[in-house]
Amino acid sequence: MSVLLDVQDLTVRFALPKPSFFAERPYLEAVRQVSFRLEAGRALGIVGESGSGKTTTAMAAIRLVEAAGGKVLFDGEDLLTLPAEEMRLRRRDVQLIFQDPYSSLNPRARVADIVREPMDLMGIGTKEERQARVVELFRLVGLRPDQLNLFPHKFSGGQRQRISIARALTTNPRLLVCDEPVSALDVAIQAQILNLLAKLKTELGLSYLFISHDLGVVRHVCDDVAVMYLGKIVEQAPKVALFEAPQHPYTQALLSAAPSLARRKSKGYVRPLKIAGDPPSPINPPKGCAFAERCPLAQEVCRAVPPVLEHRGAGAVACHFPQ
């Protein structure tokens, strides 16, 4: 398969207030030289704790957050260096599904206008063609044409997320960035939306960059998984390899903490390690491995030398003592 999205050494930092007039300005290192590839027609899940940098990574890759360095190649074209007008046109190929379906829809607009808006902004098709496309997309995501003229408050949370998905599909994108699209929904509704996303991926040949903290959700939708910790990818592998035989202690801890995976016993699964404490500050990240102070396997080399993400088996892991 061809590589659709190639992220190389992506870095994002946020300036913080100076502690004093003459002091140097501190920076929060949210994303630290992250690299990954997404093949066309596949779904890559990025998982991690809150504050790990997963959402910032995705938003920086599509230029909704400013990157401090690196490259983001979409079909070989660096999105980070495109002029504003060229990037606006490129957004036809890259669309976003937001986390909260209750705040991402304009409460004063009818849903037909909400779904049609991307086509209006980009001048796609005639008025009749746009309206026909809206009706087609409503059927595709499981909504009825007689609901087109209703306002968002008439819909449930799951239906609102279906409207968000329809809006994202109006420009015939090749890549959908899904920012925790089911975290605000009930469990039963989550399954319906995930099944819809999986169906659309197959039928339309879409690629997904899927952000989530729930490994059970990622297992259902994604083909590959990248695990982030304090702004870095610590493990990346195809879904089966990562869930059957996680190599990084942090990945094992995440798997053991996922309620939706608690009853699953995978062949070759390594017994998870117990971890305690909080992640270190991204303002002043540690010299060595960022996970060292929470890892029961850590040795002196872990605190002194940062591990490099290296290929091992079916995936890649950044750990001096992979399991």
User: What total of structural domains would you count in the chain?
Assistant: 1
Q: Does pLDDT of 264 surpass 60?
A: no
Is 114 contained in some domain? no
Is 234 within a domain?
A: yes
Helical pair 157-169 and 187-204, crossing angle rounded to 10 deg? 20
- Give the whole-angstrom CA distance, residue 192 versus residue 200: 12
In a domain, 56, yes or no: yes
Q: Confirm whether 139 is domain-assigned.
A: no
Q: Which domain holds residue 47?
A: 3-17+27-93+173-247
Q: Which residues pair with 21 in a beta bridge?
A: none
Indicate whether 204 belongs to any domain: yes
Q: pLDDT confidence of 268, banded at 50, 70, 90? A: very low
> Of 29, 56, 44, whose CA–CA distance to 223 is shortest?
44
Query: pLDDT by residue (tens digit) across 135-175?
Result: 999 999 999 999 999 999 999 999 999 999 999 999 999 99
From the list 7, 148, 25, the residue with the least C-alpha distance to 78 is 7
pLDDT confidence of residue 259: 62
Give the DSSP H or E segment for 215: helix 215-221
Strand order in the sheet with 43-47: 94-97, 175-179, 207-212, 43-47, 224-229, 232-238, 315-317, 310-312
The CATH number of the domain where 225 resides is what? 3.40.50.300
Q: Which of 123, 178, 168 is nearest to 141 (CA)?
A: 168
User: Which of 230, 236, 235 is closest to 248 using CA atoms?
Assistant: 235
> Using CA atoms, how far apart are residues 3 and 228, in angstroms rounded to an integer?
21
Does a structural domain hold residue 55? Answer: yes
Stretch 122-139: mean pLDDT: 93
Lookup: tokens for 251: 């990945």
Q: Please calculate the CA angle 43-49-54 and round it to the nearest 5 degrees.
A: 45
Whole-number average pLDDT of the chain: 90
In order of 122, 171, 280, the CA distances from 125 in angstroms are: 9, 10, 51
pLDDT tops 60 at residue 270: no
DSSP code for 184: T
How much of the chain exceeds pLDDT 70, in percent?
95
CA-to-CA distance for 189 and 193, rounded, in angstroms? 6
Per-residue pLDDT tens digits for 24-60: 898 899 999 999 999 999 999 999 988 899 999 999 9
Q: Is the pLDDT reported for residue 260 higher than 70?
A: no
3-state DSSP call for residue 73?
A: strand
